[in-house]
Structure 1
Amino acid sequence: MPLTYQDVMTADLSPLGDSASAWQKMGERFGELKGDYEQNVARFLSNGNWRGEAFNAHQTNTRATAFEYSAAQSEAQAVAGVLRQAHTELTRLQKAVKDTVADAESNDFKVDAAGKATYVGFDKLSPQERSDAQHDPDYPQVLALARQREREWTEAIAKGVQHVDEYDQSVQRALSAATTDSSMDGGGVGGFNADASADVAKAQAPVTKTDAADDGGWQAEGKSEANGPNAGAEAKGPDWGAGDFGSAEAHANLGDASAEGKLTNGPLELDGKAEAYAGAKAEAAAKLNLDGLNAEASASVGAGASAEGNARAYHVGVTGGAEAFVGAEAGASVTAGQDGVGVSAEAFAGAKGSVSGGGDIGGIGIGATAEGWAGPGAEANFGVTQDPQGKWHIGGKMGVSPILGGAVGVEVTFDPKEFTDTVSDVAGGVKDFAGGVKDTFTSIF
């Protein structure tokens, strides 16, 4: 959520400096612990008196532990560096906004709680002076100039707030990157980040690009994002007036990343998306109101990855995807309302992979999914729903696995608008063809 004018004007940035000092001391302490561990544990047990498989396993774990102490020192000191930069730069940017406000006020403009400037110079005039000014032939031009200055001061303040917000988001990304271990060093993913960087400038904004340059007519846009590790919990409700029985959610996210993009060239459109995650999550919610019934509960722990893509030209499209999951999950849901009905239930523990594909012509589509399971599980669902774009989805999926098994699913979609447009285009084409035939015979005879 972007920072507001009030957020910038009232923020106390002094804790950032204190936090930076605390993280710096923590990094130094991790360095001391690494030295103590290597001297009093690793070397003490490597005197040659202990040998065998247990010793070899211990040595492997010892090296990993020493590495993590060193990585923890690098990560803590990187966080300290990010916080120091944040304190310096945010203080400068905040002062710039406050100076702009002070300049506006010194020039007879009042800035409200939302950062909007209003000219109050007329308020300093006596009633007679105000009356004389209003009857002056140049009064409309003076008033128009005052309104223009109001907009300019308001825009200058908003731009200053935006600069604070953009840098604040860069700091958030820098902290997330510094505390995320995505490499296999030290014995695996998920430890401390030995390559943590304290440079906020390297934490660029998520890639969001629209390239309209002439490249064979193609236009591209896309974005990517990475988060974690983080954890949290939230509970809401109940709100009996709205028919909301309440909801609860808790998660422990080790890390997630996603990327998506689109290429278009006239009627041809290609798009794709990929994502990966690791962690645990549980949630439950229930609501009953005029829109219908919606109740669901789910829990999962493990890691997964997925990729999907679509291609479309005029009224014809194809789609495909693949997904993999290792862990355990369970869930159930019931929905019933004006947008359709649906029921589902599933439980699984182990590893599974799936592939899917489909296509549509003129607003009528069909898709299929096939999964392979290694582990006990069961799944069943069926539904008839309408999405916010007006497209109807009818389909279901069933699967069972004592040890090795899988699931199959099928979905039929119907887009009334797309179907109507297709019929209209076809009818127009037939009409044009018939007119051409008529013209041909007329010219002959």
Structure 2
Amino acid sequence: MPLSYQDVVGADLSSLEDVAEAWHSMGKRFGELKGNYTKHVPSALGNGNWQGEAFGAHQKAAQGTAFEFAAAKTEALAVAELLRKAHTELHRLRKAVKDLVGDAEDQGFKISSSGVATYVGSDKHEKQALRNDPDHAAAQAKAAQTWTDKITKAVEAVDEADQKAKRALTRAVSDTSPDGIGIAGFNAHAEGDLDKAGAPENTPHTKTDGWTAKGNFKANGPAAGGSLLGPGYGRQGMAKGYVDAFHVTGQGSVSKGDMKLSGIADAYGGIRGTASGGFTEQGLDGTAEGSAGLRALAEGRVESDIAGAYGRGTGFAGGEVGVNVNVGPDGFSSGGKAFAGAKATAAGGAEAGGISIGGTAEAWAGPGLEGNFIFGEKDGDGKFHIGVTGGASPIIGGKAGGELVIDPGKVADTAGDAADAVGEAAGAVKDTAADLF
């Protein structure tokens, strides 16, 4: 919660100096303790009379203790220095607030307990003029707002300094290094520079080096609903239903020129079911699926104009069933699945020149059976797919699969680009030969 005007003008900062002196004395004392401990414990026992594994373990522990004494000295002296610098900065900034208040009062303004300026005039003649001259009243009201804004800004500067001191002190007494006896000991790397130690985390960068970033986050649930879409010309009939406990999605990307890095994370819990079927220009198609449980997905991609690659991991706990069939002029595909338990999936692949290949591997804990085969177009995407996936799990098992996808449009474009490049290279060789002879 930000400091108020009253917090600033009413604060007693003198105790910071007393506390800083106490921390400094404590730091010096820790240094003395470290010297005494090193002299009277590990050194005294290192005369050769005691050897073996117990002696080695003791000496190692003693080294850790000595390290912590030294770290305690560093931490205490850093805290003392931070408190001194915080006192100096807060005292200066609070004085700036009080000086503004004094200047405003000298010019006939009264400052309320919340830091708001109001013009009250300096004598009865001016008060009379204020009542009889609307322009004068408006000018003084504007001046009062100006004083209020200046005081507010000065109070905010004190609050920012206070927050900086808080961050610095918190970091000074937090040990996140595994040295010494490990994390949660004394901080051997405590920083006494207030500006450095108190800098905000995740300081925004002003230079992007040409990279553009964007992203979004969505959270929904609980929710329930459904829909029914009748078959029509060129499309399927479909029925959907769902009961969502929650659904959270976050995604982001950075891009520069034709290079793009992107990622997505998604978590869902609930029950869903879909059924669809009908005749389309792709032939006869029917699908039915149902699932209940928890799902999570994380995916990363790197893409450019000439190639791309991805990696994906998913997890599921619950049950699911499904069946699908497609018969059409471009090929035949069919499959089915049934599963109850938990499973985790890893997938990856790459694409270049219109040809992509990918693979999946999945671990199951629970009974299940699944099989899919495809040879031809898939979901009317205009690409040629060859793929197979299969798996079984009496209790513990899994599945694996792979798929080759050919995009005729991209293959043709790549071939055209290659031909153009060969032609340009041949032309360059010809021109060079002509120049030589």
If the length of structure 1 is used for normalisation, what is the TM-score?
0.50
Distance, in Å, in 1 between the alignment partners of 2:342 and 2:166 is 42
Structure 1 residue aligned with 2:102 = 102
2:315 to 353, 364, 370: 370
Unaligned runs of 5+ in 2: 218-249, 256-260, 268-291, 302-311, 320-339, 344-362, 367-437
1:356 to 276, 290, 298: 298
> What secondary structure sits across from 1:356 in the alignment?
strand
Does the 8 A contact of 2:120 with 2:127 survive in 1? no
Structure 1 residue aligned with 2:73 = 73
In 2 relative to 1, CA 176–150 (structure 1 residues): closer, same or farther, beyond 3 Å?
same
Residue 356 of structure 1 aligns with an amino acid whose one-letter code is A
Distance, in Å, in 2 between the alignment partners of 1:318 and 1:3 is 40
Does the 8 A contact of 1:74 with 1:196 survive in 2? yes
Moved over 6 A (4+): 405-408
Q: CA deviation at 1:158?
A: 1.1
Describe how 1:255-334 pairs up with structure 2 within 5 A: 263=213, 269-270=214-215, 310-311=252-253, 319-320=263-264
Distance, in Å, in 2 between the alignment partners of 1:407 and 1:9 is 65
TM-superposition CA deviations, 1:45-87 (whole Å, max 9, x none): 1111111111111111111110110000100110011111111
Residue 310 of structure 1 aligns with an amino acid whose one-letter code is G
| Bigger Rg, structure 1 or 2 | 2
Does the 8 A contact of 1:96 with 1:160 survive in 2? yes
Structure 2 residue aligned with 1:340 = none
Length, aligned pairs only: 265
Distance, in Å, in 1 between the alignment partners of 2:27 and 2:111 is 44
In 2 relative to 1, CA 85–312 (structure 1 residues): closer, same or farther, beyond 3 Å?
closer
In 2 relative to 1, CA 167–66 (structure 1 residues): closer, same or farther, beyond 3 Å?
same
> What secondary structure sits across from 2:63 in the alignment?
helix
Is the counterpart of residue 172 in structure 1 residue 166 in structure 2? yes
Distance, in Å, in 2 between the alignment partners of 1:72 and 1:369 is 45
Q: CA RMSD in A?
A: 4.5
Does the 8 A contact of 1:370 with 1:406 survive in 2? no
Describe how 1:34-433 pairs up with structure 2 within 5 A: 34-121=34-121, 124-125=123-124, 134-136=131-133, 139-140=134-135, 142-203=136-197, 204-209=199-204, 211=206, 216=210, 218-219=211-212, 263=213, 269-270=214-215, 310-311=252-253, 319-320=263-264, 356-357=298-299, 369-370=314-315
In 2 relative to 1, CA 321–111 (structure 1 residues): closer, same or farther, beyond 3 Å?
same
In 2 relative to 1, CA 63–97 (structure 1 residues): closer, same or farther, beyond 3 Å?
same
Q: CA deviation at 1:135?
A: 4.1
If the length of structure 2 is used for normalisation, what is the TM-score?
0.51
Q: CA deviation at 1:108?
A: 0.5
Distance, in Å, in 2 between the alignment partners of 1:407 and 1:98 is 69
Does the 8 A contact of 2:174 with 2:187 survive in 1? yes
Distance, in Å, in 1 between the alignment partners of 2:145 and 2:157 is 18
Q: CA deviation at 1:398?
A: 6.2
Q: CA deviation at 1:310?
A: 3.4
Residue 205 of structure 1 aligns with an amino acid whose one-letter code is P
Unaligned runs of 5+ in 1: 220-262, 264-268, 273-307, 324-342, 346-353, 360-366, 372-378, 382-396, 409-445
Structure 1 residue aligned with 2:426 = none
Q: Percent identity?
A: 45
Residue 369 of structure 1 aligns with an amino acid whose one-letter code is T
Residue 78 of structure 2 aligns with an amino acid whose one-letter code is A
